[in-house]
Amino acid sequence: MRAWFAIVSLFIVGCSTGPDRDEAFLAAKARWAAQNVSSYEIVVRRSCFCATTDPVKVTVVNGQVTARVFTTDGQPVPANLIAYYPDVPGLFDLVEDGYDRAASINVTFDAQYGFPASTVIDYVANAVDDEVAISATGFVKQ
13 found inside a domain: no
Domain containing 135: what range?
18-141
| Residue 142 CB-half CA count within 13 A | 12
35 found inside a domain: yes
115 found inside a domain: yes
65 found inside a domain: yes
Of residues 74, 33, 56, 35, the one with CA closest to residue 134: 56
**Ordered DSSP codes for 65-95:** EEEEEETTT-PBPPGGGGGGS--HHHHHHHH
Give the whole-angstrom CA distance, residue 91 versus residue 78: 19
Of residues 126, 114, 102, the one with CA closest to residue 23: 114
Each residue's pLDDT tens digit in the chain (142 positions)? Answer: 433 333 333 333 333 333 456 788 999 999 999 999 999 999 999 987 666 679 999 999 999 999 999 999 999 999 999 999 999 999 999 999 998 888 889 999 999 999 999 999 888 787 676 688 999 999 999 9
Question: Looking at the 3D structure of the chain, how many domains does it have?
Answer: 1
118 found inside a domain: yes
**Ordered DSSP codes for 13-40:** HHT--SPPP-HHHHHHHHHHHHHT--SE
10 found inside a domain: no
**Ordered DSSP codes for 117-133:** EEEEEESSTT-SS-EEE
